[in-house]
Amino acid sequence: MTQSTAPAALTRLTDDEVLFRDSVYEFADREVRPLSREMDEHAKMPRELIDKLFELGIMGIEIPETHSGAGASFFFSVLAVESLSRVDPSVGVLVDVQNTLVINAFLRWGSEAIKHRYLPKLASSTVGAYCLSEAGSGSDAFALTTRAVEQGDGYRLNGRKLWITNGNEADIFLVFANINPEAGYRGITAFIVERGMAGFSVGKKEDKMGIRASSTCELLFEDCVVPKANILGEVGKGYKVAIETLNEGRIGIGAQMVGLAHGALDHTVKYVKDRKQFGKPIGDFQGVQFQIARMAIELETARLLVYNAARLRDAGLPFLQEAAMCKIVSSEVAESVTSMAVNLHGGNGFVKEYAVEKLFRDAKIGQIYEGTSNMQLVTIAKNLLG
């Protein structure tokens, strides 16, 4: 595989960022690629691989060094997700949820006691999960029905969460529940639930079309008592935790989709050079060349939107609209690029022996999770129209 089709001068990466991006990709090429097909078939990610992600230092990128993290910027999280997803988007999304959702929420809303207690674990050994969605609460995120009732020094949680990424691997769960349904979204509170707490269990694992090695599970809360010390942020302010964390998360999904599309382009460039028809490589035909060129243009467009949103976030500037834009464009590009990759592979693109079949399946989720494409359009339009 080629190292990159994106010159550093065009994407404005520093030398350190280029080195980091390439080192994560080399890791993925060496450690993830040999496992990718088996992980997809068995819908499972080996714990040994997750441990290697921790050893590489990319499971706690923004966590300060004082809490055992890398102490790097959000942009480095984006680069890690992109580089991993170029090989396997399932691994990319595990790292994405860990960094852009779970750790981001702990860093922004956690008390010093919570940071001291949880950040070293999240940086070194423990996977986290972000638990907002429910059966009747998807795009309408605040229609959640999971309830929390005050009880002594804690709260008793009852309800059910669905479509929770990292559900099988996680030991720390950031769970959103409503302590005062009459107050609507102003009753939503964020709770830190640990695996093993009485009344909490991980239920059914979904059998998915794509990103199959990434676990997507239901969570069950049956009189699960969570200490008041495990509230993240303020009581009744969980909606702020949810909204503001998801804005960063959308940039992470954008990075996943860019990496996925980059991987599909890699495979296709190699294939059209090797595959011969009418006595010469099909890459010598202008019709094929034009399609390859369009794939590269779409990919670079999406990449620059993602990088721009990430740079704005790190600079402390508004990025709501840019995050929505990069998410919708990158997910559409991932679908179009992987579709063309399958087309250019011909019949080989339709069989599991070739990686583009898997990447095509993996791409579809990008327009659905962490805010559907229609919801991104709503966000952009409202922002423009005030």
Task: Please name the amino acid found at residue 109.
Answer: W
Dist CA 143 CA 274 (whole Å): 53
> Active site residue: 17, 169, 335, 370, which one?
370
Radius of gyration over alpha carbons of the chain, in Å?
A: 21
Dist CA 121 CA 154 (whole Å): 23
Q: Which residues contact 256 (CB under 8 A, 6 or more apart)?
A: 81, 82, 85, 89, 92, 93, 96, 366
Dist CA 345 CA 343 (whole Å): 5
Which stretches of 58-111 are DSSP H helices? Answer: 74-85, 89-96, 104-109
Dist CA 310 CA 255 (whole Å): 10
- Quick one: tokens of 143? 């229609």
Of 190, 195, 197, 193, the residue nearest 232 (C-alpha): 190
Task: Please name the amino acid found at residue 67.
Answer: H
Dist CA 129 CA 223 (whole Å): 20
Q: Which residues contact 337 (CB under 8 A, 6 or more apart)?
A: 261, 264, 265, 295, 298, 299, 363
In the DSSP assignment, the letter for residue 126 is: -
234 is catalytic: no
Residues involved in catalysis: 370
